[in-house]
Amino acid sequence: MTLKNILNHLLEKAIIDVPQRDAAQTHIENRPLSVHSELRLMLLSGISLFCGGLGMLIYKHIDTIGHQAIIALIALVSLVTGAFAYSKRQPYTDGAIQNPSTFADYALLLSCMTFLILEGYLQYQYQIFGTKYGLATFIPALLFFLAAYRFDHKGVLTMAMTALATWAGLTIAPLDITKNDFSNIHLVWSAIGIGLFLIAIGVFSEIKNIKAHFSYSYYMLGGNLAVIASLAATFAHSKWFWLIMMPLCMTFVWYARKTGSHLFLLMGVIYGYIGTTYVLLSSLNNASGIIYYGFASCFAIVLFFTNYKKILNVHS
């Protein structure tokens, strides 16, 4: 149905009257098409393409004369955009800040991304941090955390968390998280440690009300990292890791119930189901048992999702 038809149906039921119908009609016919989010998406893809290209460019042309110029260009971009973002800064508050400048947030993002390229290159070519590789990844993490809080920027916060995870030898990006080598038990423990640490910061920000709107990002990245690491460890090392994973999944569901975030509900249920199923079935070598269990458990989850509002007492 078109909006025009819908307006007529509303008119029939006397929810709106003729003048409002006509006004809405005129508005629908004459309103310009808003390309607000499309343009921002375009700007973001431009930034990521640009940085991806630069990252390849400096390593491919490392022995040519032009590469000094490329480095100078990257440094210049990082400085200029950083200075622009700084000049448009708003006074710091503990709450969310709406920056009136359209481009300040994007400039900061570009500045941080080019800084990361530059820093990585300087370490690679000139070993500015020598063999202290930890320092080379810890400095951007620290810097990005400071910038994220000063400029109230969730994107830079995500970069800071990514850098922190890199410092511990981990990949945190949602789609790459399984690329971590969780057969290494030390990596599992550092993933769980970093994940819990990030969750703790999120809880702290909510309690103290310091940038409370950052907590979702902390829970999302930290929670996923800790749950996936403990799930992988349940498979690869010991079933006892289930005891770490399951409380986390239940926390996800609890958080979903508290905030109405259905993504956390889905993640909690799916991770919890996979882990629990593995622990229950790994000792069972009976094909028919597995099939009957699979049917009953999946059916139970379908019933749960169909009635989750009643079960969790959620009101939409």
CA 296 to the chain's CA centroid:
34
- CA pair distance 191, 93, nearest whole angstrom: 31
Binding mask 269-288 for other proteins (x = CB under 8 A): xx----------------xx
Instruction: Give 9 or 213: the residue with its C-beta nearer to other proteins.
Output: 9
Task: List the structure tokens of 73.
Answer: 């260009």
- Residue 121's Cβ-side half-sphere holds a number of Cα atoms within 13 Å equal to 22
Out of 69, 135, 207, 291, the residue judged to bind other proteins by CB under 8 A: 291
- CA pair distance 167, 119, nearest whole angstrom: 14
- Residue 186 touches other proteins, criterion: CB under 8 A: no
- Residue 66 touches other proteins, criterion: CB under 8 A: no
- CA pair distance 259, 220, nearest whole angstrom: 13
Footprint on residues 231-270 left by other proteins (CB under 8 A): 262-263, 265-266, 269-270
What's the Cα-to-Cα distance from 133 to each of 124, 139, 146, rounded to whole Å? 10, 10, 21
- Residue 51 touches other proteins, criterion: CB under 8 A: yes
Out of 60, 179, 208, 213, the residue judged to bind other proteins by CB under 8 A: 60
- Residue 64 touches other proteins, criterion: CB under 8 A: no
Instruction: Kindly give, in sequence order, each residue whose CB lies less than 8 Å from that of residue 312, ignoring residues fewer than 6 positions away.
Output: 253, 256, 257, 265
Chain residues that interact with other proteins, rule: CB under 8 A: 1-3, 5-7, 9-10, 13, 15-17, 19-20, 22-24, 26-28, 31-40, 42-43, 45-54, 56-57, 60, 102-103, 110, 262-263, 265-266, 269-270, 287-288, 291-292, 294-295, 298-299, 301-302, 305-308, 316
